[in-house]
Structure 1
Amino acid sequence: MSVTDFVPPSAMVVVAHPDDAEFMCAGTIAKWTAAGCRVVYVVITKGDKGSDDPEMTTERLARVREAEQRAAGAILGVQAFEFLGYPDGYLQPTLELRRDLARVIRRHRPHTVITFDPTNRFFSDTYVNHPDHRAAGDAALDAVFPTARDRLTFPELLVDGYEPWKVRQVWLAPAAQPNTWVDISATLEQKKQALLAHPSQLGPEVVEFAESMARVAGAAHGLEAAEAFRRIILEADPVHEGAAYPG
C-alpha cells in the first residue's frame, strides 16, 4: 500500500452516470491533466432517472446532465467525452455493453482505465452501491481484459477500423481493498467545484461530505486530502511506471 505520484500518459474514466467521476476521482484527474495526461470520460447511461421533479422528463434531464458533465470535466481539464446513451437505472454487464466499451478503449487507446470496483457492494452501514455502478465496473473490466486486447473478439470492431489495444493499468474506486492513494491536496478545490457543476443532482452538503471523505483518506497517510484506489498493473511499463509523465 502506497501513496503515489504516478501520472499516466493517457487515461480513461468509465462510469455509469454523469457526476460519478467527480465523486470517484476528480482530484486525481485534475492532477493528471495538469501534468500532461490526456483524459477521456466515458459515461455509459444518460442519467435520465435522477429527479423527483414531477414536471421533469427523461429527455430533458438527459440533456441537462450531459451539459453538467461537460462543464465539470472542463474544470478538471478533461479533453474528450463519450456518452454511450444507455438508459439510467437498468444497466447490465451485457455483451453489447462490453463491445461498446471495447470500441471506445480501442478508439482512444488509454494507458490507464479508472472505473468502479464491482466487488464493493456496501460502502458503509448506510449506503448500498448503485447496481448501475457495479454493472459498469464489471463491463469495463471485461472490456479492458481480454476484449479490447484480443483481435478475434468482436471482429466487427476490426471491420470498423478499431485495432486491438492493451490497457496497462486499471484503477478501481471506491475500492473495497485500496492499495494506492493519490495526494489531492492541491486539487481538492477543483474537485469541489466540479461536483458543484452538477446542480441538478448535488447540493453543498454533498460536496462537504465528499470533501470530508477526501480529508479522512488523506489524514491516514499524513496528507491534507487523498483519493483511494485499488491499482492493478496488467502490463509493466518501464517508461512511465513510478514517475510523472513529462507531457
Structure 2
Amino acid sequence: MSEQDDRAESERDGRPTGDDGVRRVLAVFAHPDDIDFGAAGTVAAWTDAGIEVAYVLVTRGDAGGFDDTPRAEMPKIREAEQKAAAAAVGVHEVHFLDGYPDGAVYVTHQLRRDITRQIRRFRPDRVLTNSPVRSWSMLGGPSHPDHQAVGQATTYAVYPDARNPFAHPELLAEEGLAAWTVPEVWYSGVPEPDHFVDITDTFDRKIAALRSHASQLPDPDAIVGGLRERFGAQAERAGMSPGRIAEAFRIAK
C-alpha cells in the first residue's frame, strides 16, 4: 500500500491523520471546558499514542456558571477545573492568558502576539483550536463569539505571524522566541467538518474531563446523555459502525 493509500485508509477508519510525524500538539481555546466538549476524546487518543499536548486558554471563563458563586471566585475555580480536566486526558501543561475577559475577546494585534508567543515557545507540529466560523443552524455552543475570535486569532498567529521572523520582533529580541512554522491546524466545532476521529475507546475519559467542570454543569447526567447521542450521530455521519462515537474537525494545511 502506498503512503497516499495508507493516509486515505487512516482517514476512513477514524485514526488521527498523520500522527507518525506529530510529536507535539498545542490546543488554543477561548474558555475552560471548550476543549473537553469538542475534542477531549481525540486529545486522550493523542496522549495515549505518546504525543505531548499542551493547552492555552485565552480566558478563565469568568462569565460562566449557573448559580450564585461570587464572580470574583469564578476564574480561580475554572482554572482548577480545567487543570483537573486536562489531567484526565493525559495533559499536564495548561496556560492561561491574562487580560482577556470572558465574553469580550476580539481579534487584536495583542491577542495574535500572545498566541504567537505560545506557538514559538511550545513549537508544535499541530495546533488545535476553536472554529473561526459560526454555525447558522444553532445559536449556542460552538457559535459563541469568543470562539470565533480565538479561532481567527490563532489562525493568524499560525500564519503569518509565528513563522515570520519579522512579525512581533520583540518576541525574539526580548524573549529569544524564534520563528516557528506549524504544518497544520485542526478546527473543533466547525459547521462542515471533513475529518472524524473514533473516540469510542476514550469517551469515558472525555466524560471524566467534562465532569471536572462542575461549576458549569447543573445537570451533568443530562449533558453526558446528550453528548453520547450527538457524537454517536457524528460517527454515523462518518460511516462508522453502529455504536461508535466520533469527534469532528476540519483540517487546514
**TM-score, length-normalised on structure 1?**
0.89
Structure 2 Cα separation of the partners of residues 16 and 35 of structure 1: 26
Structure 2 counterpart of 1:210: 227
Structure 2 counterpart of 1:164: 179
Q: Which of 125, 131, 135 is equivalent to 1:117?
A: 131
Asked if 1:194 is matched to 2:220, the reply is no
Q: Which of 41, 61, 69 is equivalent to 2:74?
A: 61
Asked if 1:95 is matched to 2:115, the reply is no
Asked if 1:70 is matched to 2:83, the reply is yes
Structure 2 counterpart of 1:225: 245
Greater mean deviation of Cα atoms: 155-164 or 168-177: 168-177
5+ unaligned residues in a row in structure 2: which ranges?
1-7
Structure 2 counterpart of 1:142: 156
Structure 1 counterpart of 2:41: 27
Instruction: Identify the structure with the greater helix proportion.
Output: 2
Structure 2 Cα separation of the partners of residues 82 and 35 of structure 1: 22
**TM-score, length-normalised on structure 2?**
0.87
Letter of the 2:180 counterpart: W
Runs of 4+ in 1 over 6 A off after TM superposition: none
Structure 1 Cα separation of the partners of residues 196 and 66 of structure 2: 36
Structure 2 Cα separation of the partners of residues 177 and 31 of structure 1: 23
Tell me if the contact between 1:121 and 1:134 (Cα under 8 Å) persists in the aligned partners. Answer: no
Tell me if the contact between 2:66 and 2:216 (Cα under 8 Å) persists in the aligned partners. Answer: no
Instruction: Identify the structure with the greater strand proportion.
Output: 1
Number of residue pairs aligned between Structure 1 and Structure 2: 231
Which secondary structure state, in structure 1, belongs to the residue aligned with residue 235 of structure 2? helix
Structure 1 Cα separation of the partners of residues 249 and 202 of structure 2: 17
Displacement of 1:194:
0.7
Alignment of 1:224-243 (within 5 A): 224-233=244-253
5+ unaligned residues in a row in structure 1: which ranges?
234-247
